[in-house]
Amino acid sequence: MQRSLSDILSEIFFDHQLGIDTETLEEYSLALNGSKSLPGAIVWPENEEQLIQLIRAANRFHFEIHPVAQGKNWGYGTAQGSKSGQVIANLSRMNSVLEINDQQAYVRVQPGISQSQLYRALQAQSSLLQLDITAAGLHTSVVGNILERGFGHTDYTNRFGNVLAMRVLLPTGEVINTGMGMYLTSKAEHLYPYGIGPILSGLFTQSNLGIVLEMTIALQPKPEYQATVLVMCKDDHAAPDMVATIAKLKLDGVVTSGVHTASMTRAIGEQAAKTAGAWVLTTSLAGPKSIVKARFKHFKRTILANVPNSKVLMFDDFRWDLLSKLNRYLKSPMIASLKLVIDLKKGVPSDEAMKTLLDTREARSCMKTSEFPACFRWICAVSSFLPQDIKQMLDICRHVFKKYGYEERYTMTNVSERAVVLIANIRYDNTGDQLKKAAAFYQELDHELITAGFCPYRSGPGMFDSIQPHLKAPHLALLKKLKQTMDPNNILSPNKYWLDGQSTENRSEFVKKQAQAEEVH
């Protein structure tokens, strides 16, 4: 007799940990880009043992699992599975802070910990450590964003580069530790990420080769002095020079944090029409006060020499407090938006950026996907810092934006001394015509950018197909071999980032029979 999926899951999870009702399944079927993919069930594991039991059951009964940390992957698939019919394992209840180590400057956390939860934990302990966060909101998972290789705003902007160790559940049910954790005992288990032999940690980012149960993350000690630096430029064509100048400053060691160059429409949304200027650049300088002052002096001199018609400002705590008081009377939208930037540079999470993205003060990262007033999806592309490359990349975007009649919104981030990531997005209504138009826009812009060599660094469910034709065959073949070896029954998020180990015919038939059994119940 065919067992139903709900019967199998009920042996592992309590009722409050299992979602099979229509409303819950419909909510998890949605992504903020407007697409749908109906899951078979939602589960909320509360400990490692339940996750291990879920993996064993999936291998025994041949159903698929798609883990999400918080399910708030806005613009990159939200909590959608890689295929329909999957069991979505939401790890948000595995959200403990296992250790805060001020002396050795790291934290150990479970996968469901959100930015706001970790921030509050550090505050409660009066920790000397500072978070590096993203602008994605209070409820964004720290671990989930790192595993998608997201980047932040401080000197620790390379977030995956600051992962020191991981504890990982493999699709076979085994648990491994990366780095020095591979040894039976090690004084440096949470300090040195490489261990000995092949480095395994990268296999578990942007992949479906394991579920991260625990992560050790290096955090920046709070600096003696920190200042947020702002560069505003009225020249619409100045962005390539701004980005290239920052790259030189990073190569010279003057700037060590992530640097974001944003179009004014991206920085402050609908308020941009009220503000003079085309581009705004933000970064931070941190360290001993005398060194920060010297670095800013060199920074300002270099920017003004290479970016005409620009204005350079610096805000330390004293200057920001004074400006905040003045803005009670000035009521400048630019000054109000600057608070978000200053908070980000200090590792203080908020939902303010989401409100700008969706042009509504009602947006919150805790909202259900179905509650959002509009749809949006990210476009991302990686470039060199050479001005001619930045110009070509922007020209491609501008042509396609103009063709479809969308407002241009860009951020370009100097994520390293050599690479620049462009992020673009549009906001659109969740109606048939608007969804078709947006899909055509993204397909064309993706194609034009990738064909020109400006390739994405990240993707998500429902978005992989447009990228796969541009990948080299030996690369895809290796991914397939890895998946077949590490997940022989292909139970963990098949086809996520093109890792699919086998034919899905038998598994699809099993899912159909499960659905029929559910109807009988």
SS3 letters across 432-484: HHHHHHHHHHHHHHHHHHHHCCCECCCCCCCCCCCCHHHCCHHHHHHHHHHHH
Identify the bridge partners of residue 485 per DSSP, sorted by sequence position. none
How many Cα atoms within 13 Å fall on the side-chain side of residue 61?
23
Give the Cα separation of 438 and 31 in Å (integer): 14
Give the Cα separation of 488 and 492 in Å (integer): 10
Q: Of 171, 172, 191, 173, which Cα lies nearest the Cα of 181? A: 191
Enumerate the H helices of 346-386 as residue ranges: 352-358
Give the Cα separation of 246 and 261 in Å (integer): 10
Q: Do domains 225-369 and 373-464 have the same CATH topology?
A: yes
Please state the separation of Cα 416 from the chain's center in Å. Answer: 17
The b-or-e profile of 351-360 (16+ CB within 10 A means b, else e) is: bbbbbbbbee
Give the Cα separation of 114 and 110 in Å (integer): 10
Condensed to tens digits (0 to 9), the pLDDT of residues 419-433 reads 999 999 999 999 999
- Beta strands 259-263 and 279-287 are antiparallel
Give the Cα separation of 6 and 29 in Å (integer): 18
pLDDT at 519 over 50: no
Q: Taking the CA atoms of the chain, what radius of gyration do you get in angstroms?
A: 23
172, 52 in Cβ contact below 8 A? no
How high is the pLDDT of residue 515? Answer: 46
Identify the bridge partners of residue 260 per DSSP, sorted by sequence position. 282, 413
Architecture of domain 97-221: 2-Layer Sandwich (3.30)
Condensed to tens digits (0 to 9), the pLDDT of residues 204-235 reads 999 999 999 999 999 999 999 999 999 999 99
Enumerate the H helices of 218-316 as residue ranges: 239-251, 264-268, 289-306
How high is the pLDDT of residue 345? Answer: 92
Q: DSSP 3-state assignment of 129?
A: strand
How high is the pLDDT of residue 465? Answer: 85
Identify the bridge partners of residue 380 per DSSP, sorted by sequence position. 423
Number of other residues whose CB lies within 10 A of the CB of residue 31: 24
The sheet with strand 211-218 has its strands ordered as 97-101, 106-109, 211-218, 163-169, 175-177
Give the Cα separation of 312 and 319 in Å (integer): 14
Condensed to tens digits (0 to 9), the pLDDT of residues 314-373 reads 999 999 899 888 888 877 777 777 888 899 999 999 988 888 777 777 788 888 899 988
331, 317 in Cβ contact below 8 A? no
* Assigned superfamily of 225-369: FAD-linked oxidases, C-terminal domain (3.40.462.10)
**In the predicted model, what is the mean pLDDT of residues 386-409?**
96
How high is the pLDDT of residue 340? Answer: 87
How many Cα atoms within 13 Å fall on the side-chain side of residue 465?
7
pTM: 0.92
Task: Phi first, then psi: give them for residue 471, nearest 5 degrees.
Answer: -95, 150
First to last CA, the chain: 14
Architecture of domain 373-464: 3-Layer(aba) Sandwich (3.40)
Q: DSSP 3-state assignment of 281?
A: strand
Q: DSSP 3-state assignment of 216?
A: strand
Condensed to tens digits (0 to 9), the pLDDT of residues 266-277 reads 776 655 444 545
Helix, strand, coil percentages in the chain from 3-state DSSP, rounded to 5: 40, 20, 40
Q: What's 203's DSSP letter? A: G
Residue 36 to residues 39, 81, 496, 510, Cα–Cα distance (Å): 10, 10, 16, 21
Annotated domain spans of the chain: 5-91+478-520, 97-221, 225-369, 373-464
5-91+478-520 to CATH, choices 3.30.43.10, 3.40.50.300, 3.40.50.720, 3.90.1150.10: 3.30.43.10
How high is the pLDDT of residue 27? Answer: 96
Element (H, E) at 77: none
